[in-house]
Amino acid sequence: MKLGVVILAAGKGTRMKSALPKVLHPLAGRPLVGHVIAVSRALGAERVAVVYGHGGEAVPEAIGDEELSWVEQAEQLGTGHAVEQAMPAMAGMDRVLVLYGDVPLIAEPTLRKLIAAAVDTDLALLTVELADPGGYGRIVRDADGRPRCIVEQKDADARVLAITEVNTGILVADGERLARWLGRLDNANAQGEFYLTDIVAMAVADGVRVHTAQPADPREVLGVNDRVQLAGLERHYQQNQAERLMRAGVTLRDPVRFDLRGSLDAGQDVEIDVNVLIEGTVRLGNRVRIGANTVLRDVTLGDGVVVRENCVLERALIGEQSIIGPFARIRPDTELGPRVHVGNFVEVKKSLVDEGSKINHLSYVGDSVVGKRVNIGAGVITCNYDGANKYRTTIGDDAFIGSDSQLVAPVEVEAGATIGAGSTITRTAPARQLTLSRSKQTTLKGWKRPVRDR
Ligand code: UD1
Ligand code: MG
């Protein structure tokens, strides 16, 4: 069975009050429509078409996915018209699934259930029972309980309005039949739109049995119309992720104060304190502990790593049992070996720091290669930039860099060298020697503090 998916994403999203098209607003760090594209792929869809309109090319450009079919619907003439625009892209598909770009939480098992409901017929609808069905199209069933048609809220009489089973908008249909039904739609209704929902009555008239399925969780079919609903779905999504992680053995000190915008792969007995934000692809080894108010973005942390409070780590590899923070910043292209200590107010950028080295206080280490067991004192700066180019600092194993020193790159401190505190090092500091640059200390004899005139 060849499955095609049509994602409707042409609507304006007026209530978002945004210059950004609605479907590009992020949920857990990914555009709303990105979630729908991802679930389509997970279903093994042969072809995925996105119908876009409002916001013009902004949507295809932001998603930037070559394998999608982008179908422009210049004027939003209704859901039926929107799907019809995408039908050329669905040629040869046995089944066509219609999804909405602003209904991001729809889950794979629910869609599999819907597709299974259509296995021996040509149309299946995803419906849901709502205590307050206001605004939705109602599922009208015949005396035998079979769906007969869908009536939109604005076209409904009191009897239909009392129906609590509503149309989620998500459906699956036989590809060829769907194309034929869409060709027969008209817009003679209260909104003057081509309603996708009118295909239900057509299917029934053609003798097609219409089946229905329901979502595992009714929140899967909630749409985003404004930023309040967006925040609501974000919380729901985060809560699900937090629960999944906790069931997999991760301790979250407070699951309500945890955000994952990407993917987290965590080992055993990982502990995450409050207000931690995880973005991109993050891997945490066994027994990793993350302190409060920390951001981890595209990082891999080895077993036993401790990140204390208030750190920001991005695109870095941290060796096992290293200790970071509090208040440390690890910037992209940094690799720390095992048992490295990076302390408070230290920034490390694009550097390799080997096993057992310590940079504990108020330092900047950039474009550097630091050997094993190096001790970098408080306030050491690698001066890597001359205003035009960046240069490398190399520090050999067992070197000791005294506090408040500047290493003016390109420069090398050889293995076992000691740099006296307060030095400005511009040339190679030889191995196992003390190198320092320091003006002589003097004391003025008989000097007195000035006194105030009168
Ligand atoms: C639609 C259904 C209704 C269902 C409800 C569920 C129809 C006629 N009605 O109503 O039965 O209960 O969804 O939310 O289908 N869109 C386009 N192009 C268009 C029109 C819409 O791409 O020309 C997209 C919108 O961006 C949106 C989706 O289709 O993502 C649904 O459109 P919307 O106007 O919200 O449909 P409703 O009137 O709410
Ligand atoms: Mg509408």
CA distance 172 to 178: 9
Residue 88 exposed, middle or buried by CB count within 10 Å (0-12, 13-18, 19+): exposed
**Under a CB-based contact definition with an 8 Å cutoff, are residues 256 and 273 in contact?**
no
> Tell me, what's the pLDDT at 55?
81
Ligand 1, pocket-test mutation among 79, 152, 233, most atoms within 8 A of CB = 79
The catalytic site residues sit at 361
- Kindly state if the Cβ of 98 falls inside 6 Å of ligand 1: no
Spatial neighbors of 126 by CB under 8 A, at least 6 apart, are 110, 114, 168, 169, 170, 171, 212, 213, 214, 215, 221
Residues within the annotated binding site for UDP-N-acetyl-alpha-D-glucosamine? 8-11, 22, 73, 78-79, 100-102, 137, 152, 167, 225, 331, 349, 364, 375
Instruction: Name the residue among 332, 289, 326 with its Cα closest to residue 311.
Output: 326
**Under a CB-based contact definition with an 8 Å cutoff, are residues 271 and 249 in contact?**
no
Q: If you classify domain 227-435 with CATH, what class do you get?
A: mainly beta
- Give the CA angle between residues 136, 111, 8 to the nearest 5°: 55
Q: Which atom of ligand 1 approaches the CA of 10 most closely?
A: 22
Structure tokens at 331: 């910037």
Could you tell me the CATH superfamily of domain 3-221? Spore Coat Polysaccharide Biosynthesis Protein SpsA; Chain A (3.90.550.10)
Q: At what angle do helices 108-117 and 32-42 cross, to 10 degrees?
A: 50
Q: What is the pTM of this model?
A: 0.93
**Closest C-alpha to ligand 1, atom 37:** 136
CA distance 300 to 352: 15
**Under a CB-based contact definition with an 8 Å cutoff, are residues 38 and 237 in contact?**
no
**Closest C-alpha to ligand 1, atom 25:** 11
Phi and psi of 9, rounded to 5°?
-145, 30
- Kindly state if the Cβ of 52 falls inside 6 Å of ligand 1: no
DSSP secondary structure code for residue 119 in this structure: T
**Closest C-alpha to ligand 1, atom 2:** 169
Cα(193) to centroid of ligand 1, in Å?
Answer: 10
* Proximal ligand: closest to the CA of 6: 1
The amino acid sitting at 369 is V
Structure tokens at 253: 């000190």
Instruction: Name the residue among 300, 303, 298 with its Cα closest to residue 279.
Output: 298
* Proximal ligand: closest to the CA of 77: 1
> Tell me, what's the pLDDT at 205?
98
**Residue at token pair 């857990």:** 28
**Under a CB-based contact definition with an 8 Å cutoff, are residues 445 and 431 in contact?**
no
User: In a structure prediction context, what are the per-residue pLDDT tens digits for the chain, which is 454 residues long?
Assistant: 999 999 999 988 899 999 999 999 999 999 999 999 999 999 999 999 999 998 889 999 999 998 999 999 999 999 999 999 999 999 999 999 999 999 999 999 999 999 999 999 999 999 999 999 999 999 999 999 999 999 999 999 999 999 999 999 999 999 999 999 999 999 999 999 999 999 999 999 999 999 999 999 999 999 999 999 999 999 999 999 999 999 999 999 999 999 999 999 999 999 999 999 999 999 999 999 999 999 999 999 999 999 999 999 999 999 999 999 999 999 999 999 999 999 999 999 999 999 999 999 999 999 999 999 999 999 999 999 999 999 999 999 999 999 999 999 999 999 999 999 999 999 999 999 999 999 999 999 999 999 999 8
Cα(105) to centroid of ligand 1, in Å?
Answer: 16
| Extents of the domains making up the chain | 3-221, 227-435
80, containing H or E segment: helix 79-86
Instruction: Name the residue among 367, 413, 408, 363 with its Cα closest to residue 390.
Output: 367
> Tell me, what's the pLDDT at 125?
98
Cα(79) to centroid of ligand 1, in Å?
Answer: 5
**Under a CB-based contact definition with an 8 Å cutoff, are residues 267 and 288 in contact?**
yes
51, containing H or E segment: strand 47-52
Cα(10) to centroid of ligand 2, in Å?
Answer: 11
CA distance 338 to 331: 18
Pairing of strands 306-307, 69-72: unpaired
> Tell me, what's the pLDDT at 56?
83
Per-residue b/e over 92-129, b at no fewer than 16 CB within 10 Å? ebebbbbbbbbbbbbbeebbebbbebbeeebbbbbbbe
CA distance 115 to 131: 26
Pairing of strands 95-100, 165-174: antiparallel
- Kindly state if the Cβ of 194 falls inside 6 Å of ligand 1: no
Instruction: Name the residue among 268, 271, 269 with its Cα closest to residue 254.
Output: 271
